[in-house]
Amino acid sequence: MKVILSHIVMGAAACLAGAAQAETLDRIRDTGVVTMGVREASGTMSYTLGNGKYAGFHVELCEKALARMQQQLKLPRLEIRYQMVTAQNRVPLVANGTVDVECGTTTNNAARQKEVAFAPTVYMEEVRTAVRKSSGITEVAQLKGRNVAATTGATAVTLLRRFSKEKGVDFNVLMAKDNAECFILLETGRADACVADGQILASGLSRLRDPGQYAIVGEPFSVEPIAIMLDRKSPEFKKLFDAQIREMASSGEVAALYDKWFMKPVPPTGVAINLPASEATRAAWAAPSDKPLEDYVAVRLVVGRTQ
| CATH class name, domain 126-224 | alpha beta
Helix ranges (DSSP H) in 252-291: 253-258, 279-286
Kindly list the domain boundaries of the chain, sorted by start residue: 21-124+225-306, 126-224
User: In the 3-class helix/strand/coil scheme, how is 107-171 assigned residue by residue?
Assistant: ECCHHHHCCCEECCCCEEEEEEEEEEHHHCCCCHHHHCCCEEEEECCCHHHHHHHHHHHHHCCCC
> Comparing 21-124+225-306 with 126-224, is the CATH topology the same?
yes
Question: Any bridge partners for residue 195, and if so which?
Answer: 129
Say if domain 21-124+225-306 classifies as CATH 3.30.300.30. no
User: Tens of pLDDT along the chain (307 residues)?
Assistant: 444 444 433 344 334 434 444 479 999 999 999 999 999 989 899 999 999 999 999 999 999 999 999 999 999 999 999 999 999 999 999 999 999 999 999 999 999 999 999 999 999 999 999 999 999 999 999 999 999 999 998 889 999 999 999 999 999 999 999 999 999 999 999 999 999 989 989 989 988 999 999 999 999 998 999 999 999 999 999 999 999 999 999 999 999 999 999 999 999 989 898 889 989 999 999 999 999 999 987 544 333 333 3
Question: With contact defined as beta carbons under 8 Å apart, do 272 and 264 qualify?
Answer: yes
Grouping H, G, I as helix, E, B as strand and the rest as coil, residue 306 is helix
Would you state the pLDDT for residue 298?
A: 53
26 phi, psi to nearest 5 deg:
-65, -40
Tell me whether strands 101-107 and 33-38 are parallel, antiparallel or unpaired: parallel
> Sign of the CA dihedral 234, 235, 236, 241?
positive
Strands (DSSP E) along the chain, which ranges?
A: 33-38, 41-42, 46-50, 53-55, 79-84, 101-107, 117-118, 123-132, 147-151, 172-176, 193-197, 214-230
Would you state the pLDDT for residue 301?
A: 36
